[in-house]
């Protein structure tokens, strides 16, 4: 006889209920017994449909609804579903159906119960995303609608300079909307592993300088750029690289103080883009959270997606992002990308 003992089901974090081919419970762990409100000793030997006292919002019980002992012989599982425990708590339930062969009846059923708090957390994250998107869309849309309405109602009374100013603002707000939508799409692609890159040999200094000129035109905060000599080419998707640098610089402008310093340096191995501000900096214990979705440290607005995208896009290019302390105080963020391989 083998000395190997069956695993102790009580060591599992999820609830587990096992039943034989006759629908009689053969084992259950302490988690399942506690959630189902049964005694783990006396529950063994009772029918599965009595022990597994789960109902949905329509009052149907799990066994009658899923019929684990009936159905096609190729059926091997019951997919994850949300069910209610006797006390009304939601759990996620999945089951495996075991047959010795396709021509034989069900021999065993293993039911797993997992807390629904994980799904609740996911629902909260989705709600946060909806709230964030609604908030970020509202401001530029309000501006677009207001200026367009003014142009329609007062076109003959407005001077050419006033019309130009309004149309310029509408264009800027439209660009902001387009960028937010692009960010949301990239977040979804990163989360699902479907991000597509179109890399080509690029001059990092040229791309960074374009970003600085664009951001500098829309802010009163001084931005200084220092470009080193002998920079190698890097193989990047120019649009995604521009998005990374733009998010870093705008984040420094939004959350920092004083002069924003941007530098580009490199050697034969690759290029480093460094962005420093003179703000309060980012404490070491907060640096991991910076790259999570909806992080908006400092309470100064923004979608909270910028640095999450930076991290995801840089990793997709084979690079790294690190956070440190700037020499004069404030935050320092370094992006390192490998040089193009000939």
Q: Residue 126 is part of a domain; what is its CATH number?
A: 1.10.287.130
Same-domain check for residues 148 and 63: no
Whole-number Å distance between alpha carbons of 152 and 179:
26
Beta bridge partners of 271: 266, 337
Summarised one tens digit per residue, pLDDT across range 174-210 is: 888 888 888 888 888 888 888 899 999 999 999 999 9
Beta bridge partners of 61: 55
31-37: Cβ within 8 A, 24+ apart: 31/113, 32/113, 35/85, 35/89, 35/91, 35/113, 36/85, 36/86, 37/85, 37/86, 37/87
Its domain, for residue 251, covers 200-338
Summarised one tens digit per residue, pLDDT across range 276-334 is: 988 787 888 777 778 877 666 655 555 667 888 899 999 999 999 999 988 777 889 99
56: in domain: yes
For residue 120, pLDDT over 70 is answered with: no
Same-domain check for residues 60 and 125: no
Beta strands in 101-211, from DSSP E residues, in sequence order: 108-115, 200-202
6: in domain: no
Summarised one tens digit per residue, pLDDT across range 133-182 is: 777 778 788 889 999 999 999 999 999 999 999 998 898 888 888 888 88
Same-domain check for residues 144 and 44: no
For residue 94, pLDDT over 80 is answered with: yes
Beta bridge partners of 273: 264, 335
Same-domain check for residues 107 and 143: no
| Phi, psi (degrees; rounded to nearest 5) at 230 | 65, 40
Summarised one tens digit per residue, pLDDT across range 43-56 is: 999 999 999 999 98
Q: How many domains does the chain have?
A: 3
Please say whether the beta carbons of 195 and 186 come within 8 A: yes
Query: What is the pLDDT averaged over residues 87-95?
Result: 90
Q: Which residue has the higher pLDDT, 252 or 118?
A: 252
* Domain C-terminal end among 115, 135, 156: 115
Same-domain check for residues 167 and 239: no
């Amino acid at each position: 006889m083998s000395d190997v003992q069956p695993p102790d089901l009580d060591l599992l974090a999820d609830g587990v209920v096992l039943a034989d081919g006759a629908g009689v419970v053969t084992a259950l762990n302490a988690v399942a017994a506690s959630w189902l409100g049964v005694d783990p000793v006396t529950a063994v030997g009772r029918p599965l449909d009595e022990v597994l006292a789960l109902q949905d919002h329509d009052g149907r019980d799990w066994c009658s609804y899923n019929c684990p002992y009936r159905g096609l012989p190729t059926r091997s599982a019951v997919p994850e579903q949300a069910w209610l425990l006797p006390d009304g708590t939601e759990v996620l339930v999945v089951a495996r159906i075991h047959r010795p062969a396709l021509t034989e009846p069900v021999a065993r059923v293993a039911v797993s119960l997992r807390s629904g708090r994980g799904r609740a957390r996911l629902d909260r994250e989705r709600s946060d995303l909806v709230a964030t998107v609604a908030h970020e869309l509202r401001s530029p849309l309000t501006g677009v609608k207001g200026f367009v309405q003014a142009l329609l109602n007062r076109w003959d009374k407005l001077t050419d300079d006033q019309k130009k100013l309004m149309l310029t603002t509408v264009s800027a707000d439209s660009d902001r909307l387009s960028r937010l939508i692009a960010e949301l799409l990239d977040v979804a692609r990163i989360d699902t592993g479907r991000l597509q890159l179109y890399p080509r040999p690029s001059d990092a200094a040229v791309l960074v300088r374009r970003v600085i000129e664009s951001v500098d035109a829309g802010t009163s905060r001084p931005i200084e750029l220092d470009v080193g000599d002998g920079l190698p080419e890097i193989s990047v998707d120019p649009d995604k690289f521009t998005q990374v640098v733009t998010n870093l610089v705008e984040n420094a402008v939004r959350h920092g103080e004083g002069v924003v310093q941007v530098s580009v340096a490199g050697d034969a191995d690759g290029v480093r883009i460094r962005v420093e501000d003179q703000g309060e900096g980012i404490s070491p214990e907060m640096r991991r959270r910076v790259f999570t979705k909806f992080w908006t440290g400092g309470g100064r607005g923004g979608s909270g997606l910028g640095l999450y995208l930076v991290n995801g896009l840089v990793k997709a290019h084979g690079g790294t992002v690190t956070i440190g302390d700037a020499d004069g105080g404030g935050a320092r963020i370094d992006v390192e990308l490998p040089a193009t391989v000939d």
